[in-house]
Amino acid sequence: MTTITPDPVLTAAAVARLASVWKSVATAEEVGPVISCVEADTLAAVFLAVGDKDSAKAWISEHSANDPGCEGHDEGHDEEPLMSTTTVVHALTCTACGSNGVQPAVREWANCTNCNHGMSLSEAMTCGCDGYDCVPRPAAPYAPEPGEEYTYPLSDYARATARALGAGWDTESSYLGAWGLIFTTDVRVSLRLYVDGEGSTGDPMIQDRHTGDEYLVPAERLPEGAPRTKDEMHEWGKALALFVLSLGL
């Protein structure tokens, strides 16, 4: 694909020419009511780019006052633009290359400045606005299938820990594997592995069942992310076993 680098001098001249041709108040009165909100804001941005605030306000005014589908535009102050071109760019995403460099064209069409792909404006939309006042769409509810978010119950973590500790250690599972016991076969050490349901982060905890003492397992001593394979669970078991041994019980 051939990449075309815009000439800044020619671009500035073209913008100035466009503003000069479209600055007519009569044209604004005739065309303003029938163009889309995105088109009105884009024209306003062209006028602002050449310092013509009056024409920008005139186009927005004619469009807003006469388009029954328009919900209004922020006309701003003399020191501020009528629109934010940044929100336009970031409200749209190319359906071909995924770039945010998408600009509205005519009517309900948009073009990608990165790969030159054309698409309808609705296809490119990644927010809940019309491309000029970006409001993110509510995220779809997170509803993973059973076993998709967490592959193993907590009792499996306890079992992996006992295996890593070696001979003389055993485990028992609670109902549904909600927590697990880790203990020596002579019951000299008896620990409960569970998750702190009252804490702010839901950290793994180990409780000495003889004394009632509780120990938070630091996140930095654990593998990153919940295990999804036997090998990953083995690494978790080794990390938890090292923490148990560090307690000196």
Per the structure, the complete domain to which residue 235 belongs is given by: 154-243
Question: Is residue 49, in this structure, part of any structural domain at all?
Answer: yes
Question: Into how many domains does the chain fold?
Answer: 3
Cα(122)–Cα(162) distance, integer angstroms: 55
- Of 28, 55, 78, the one marking the end of a domain is 78
Beta bridge partners of 184: 169
Token digits of residue 99: 């770039």
Cα(69)–Cα(60) distance, integer angstroms: 14
Cα(102)–Cα(108) distance, integer angstroms: 13
- How confident is the model at residue 32, as a pLDDT? 84
Per-residue pLDDT of the chain (249 residues; tens, 9 = 90+): 445 556 666 777 788 888 888 888 888 888 888 888 778 888 888 888 778 888 888 888 888 877 666 655 655 434 444 443 333 334 678 888 888 777 776 656 778 888 888 888 778 877 655 544 555 555 556 677 888 778 899 999 999 999 999 999 999 999 999 999 999 999 899 999 999 765 555 789 999 999 999 999 998 999 988 899 999 999 999 999 999 999 998
Question: Is residue 146, in this structure, part of any structural domain at all?
Answer: no
- Non-local CB neighbours of 77 within 8 Å, separated by 6+ positions: none
Q: Are residues 50 and 89 in the same domain?
A: no
Question: Is residue 144, in this structure, part of any structural domain at all?
Answer: no
Question: Is residue 134, in this structure, part of any structural domain at all?
Answer: yes
Q: Containing H/E element for 45?
A: helix 37-49
Cα→Cα distances 236→31, 93, 240, Å: 66, 39, 6
- Contact indicator for 54, 86 with CB cutoff of 8 Å: no
Question: Is residue 41, in this structure, part of any structural domain at all?
Answer: yes
Token digits of residue 188: 């000299």
Angle between helix 8-22 and 53-66 (nearest 10): 50
Question: Is residue 66, in this structure, part of any structural domain at all?
Answer: yes
Question: Is residue 2, in this structure, part of any structural domain at all?
Answer: no
- How confident is the model at residue 101, as a pLDDT? 76
- How confident is the model at residue 58, as a pLDDT? 87
- Non-local CB neighbours of 119 within 8 Å, separated by 6+ positions: 94, 95, 96, 102, 109, 110, 111, 112
